[in-house]
């Protein structure tokens, strides 16, 4: 059954990609193809250690785990994140969260969860992850405090005390 669903999904994807092409030479189709290639072209100012956004080492720091904030982050994640992410290293729709705070800096995580579209457009590792997951992470419109709470929960999930 899973093999049939997987095969159907692959065929549908191939069909959709093939139908996006065409021999149209109108200026409208030319401008669309140019606009679609623009976001990944401007990566020269991208910092892979902090991502793209307002967060950096001066405004996101980590000390001892804030358990109350981690509890808030767990509650927020339950409504906004858990439908796509597991707390283990197992992939659901998106990658599992286990170990994310060891693999990425806190500013990078904060920038990604508050600014996913721009990060995916610029970060080669996120683009590779997108090829595996096949779904872009949606912008959940998190406030800075909500995002920080989720990061604190991620730290707790990774064993920070």
CA distances to 17, 45, 66, 110, 114 from 134, in Å: 13, 26, 34, 22, 20
* Predicted model pTM: 0.72
Nearest to 110 by CA among 62, 45, 43: 62
Question: Is 105:54 a contact under the CB 8 Å cutoff?
Answer: no
Q: What is the pLDDT of residue 2?
A: 64
Question: Is 88:96 a contact under the CB 8 Å cutoff?
Answer: yes
Q: What is the pLDDT of residue 6?
A: 56
For range 16-40, the mean pLDDT: 38
**pLDDT tens digits for range 67-81:** 999 999 999 999 999
Average model confidence (pLDDT) across the chain: 82
Domains, the chain:
2-38 (no CATH), 67-157 (1.10.760.10)
Q: What is the pLDDT of residue 45?
A: 78
Structure confidence at residue 48 as a pLDDT band (50, 70, 90): confident
pLDDT higher than 70, residue 141: yes
Q: What is the pLDDT of residue 47?
A: 87
């Amino acid at each position: 059954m899973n093999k049939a669903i997987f095969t159907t999904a692959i065929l549908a994807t191939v069909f959709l990609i093939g139908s996006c092409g065409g021999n149209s030479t109108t200026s409208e189709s030319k401008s669309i193809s140019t606009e679609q290639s623009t976001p990944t072209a401007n990566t020269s100012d991208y910092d892979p250690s902090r991502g793209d956004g307002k967060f950096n080492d001066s405004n996101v720091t980590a000390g001892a785990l804030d358990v109350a904030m981690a509890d808030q982050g767990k509650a927020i994640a339950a409504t906004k994140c858990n439908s796509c992410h597991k707390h283990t290293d197992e992939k659901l729709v998106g990658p599992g969260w286990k170990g994310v705070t060891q693999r990425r800096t806190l500013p990078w995580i904060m920038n990604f969860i508050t600014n996913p579209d721009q990060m995916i457009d610029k970060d080669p590792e996120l683009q590779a992850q997108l090829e595996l997951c096949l779904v872009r992470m949606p912008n959940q419109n998190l406030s800075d405090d909500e995002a920080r709470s989720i990061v604190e929960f991620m730290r707790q999930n990774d064993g920070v005390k």
